[in-house]
Amino acid sequence: MNNTRPPPPVGSPPSYAFVGRVYRSNLRPVVVILALMSGVWSIARYIDLFREINIDKHQGFPKLATFSIVLGAMYAAVAAIEFFGAAAAGLQRLPLVRLYAFLSVLSALVTIVAGFVTVVTHFTLKNDMINECTNLTTGADVDFRWGLFGPSVHEQLTQEQANDWCHRAWDHDSWSDIVSLLLVIVLMGLFSAIAFAYYHQLLDPTSPANAFRAPTNNLGAGTGAYYNPTYVSSLPHLGYNDGNDNGGGGYNTTYAPYGAAPQYAPPPGPPPQFREPEPDDGKLPEYVGAGYGVGAHGTGGAKKGDDPFADFEEHDVTSRPRPGENETFR
């Protein structure tokens, strides 16, 4: 039998362990950074699309201008949601974070739809895009540099060169738009999941996200003192044998911030003692304090007249009488 085989791994799978480690950390800075990045990227897309509106109208391509307006409005809405999410996470207000968690799903859907619209427009309006590109680049000055230290060429593009260059640019943008759409789907889904994870952290009173929201300054390691109070004894402070004397053996009850504990003098004399009656195997159990019968009120042992078995005396039949005594029983 082979005993050198290592034991099976103990604990959660790596993916679940990673999720557990991430959840145990505060997701607030992660949400703020991701929301700001998404907002800045959406604003950049919004500015770029609205710049193209005037170009499309001036070149005589109204369809491209219409799609630019629609996409620009969608990215503006996404930017507004993401900046709101960054502010909500920064303020750490539960109602605002809850609203952003649900709005993050809407933001992800709008961004994904905008990516689909971009891909569809790229293929359905191919001729308009290439023609507009050719009109803009014909006669334009182009600099070609060969290598980092190689020679450079400066020339103007003819219409044929411009058309060829625009076709190659459109081919490059075809796969670029598809890859961008796939990345947007993955990233926006991840951002939305992180927003909901942070919202659930705020709902959990023991999570690190609530460490700075507890109603006390004496905080533990990630757990608010309000939700995990220390044990306080319900016994009052008696004022003696309190652990500050030489004998020790006592304890002090903290009354702050309500003031000092009241002091009470001990009663005179030794404390009362309670002694159980000693058992007697030759007697029946006494009924102490019953008010009647044998041993009433602790009066002691039973009398012969009160014993129902006292009228019969049993003699020892195995013993012999002494000399001079009668050999018969009386």
∠ CA 158-160-165 to the nearest 5 degrees? 95
Q: Which residues are registered as beta bridge partners of 155?
A: 142
For residue 158, the model assigns a pLDDT of 84
Name the amino acid, one letter, at 327: E
Residue 229, pLDDT > 50, answer: yes
pLDDT per residue as tens digits for the range 240-259 = 555 454 444 444 555 555 55
For residue 57, the model assigns a pLDDT of 87
Residue 159, pLDDT > 70, answer: yes
Which three-class secondary structure state does DSSP give residue 148? coil
**Average pLDDT of 293-299?**
50
Hey, what are 199's tokens? 């919202």
Side-chain half-sphere of 195: how many Cα atoms within 13 Å? 33
CA distances from 279 to 285, 288, 303 (A): 8, 13, 18
The DSSP 8-state label assigned to residue 207 in this structure reads S
Residue 38 belongs to what H/E stretch?
A: helix 28-59
Q: Which residues are registered as beta bridge partners of 156?
A: 141
Domain limits of the chain? 22-130+185-210
For residue 218, the model assigns a pLDDT of 47
| Contact yes or no for 78/42 (Cβ under 8 A) | yes
pLDDT per residue as tens digits for the range 35-91 = 999 999 999 999 999 888 988 888 888 899 999 999 999 999 999 999 999 999 999
Q: What is the pTM of this model?
A: 0.56
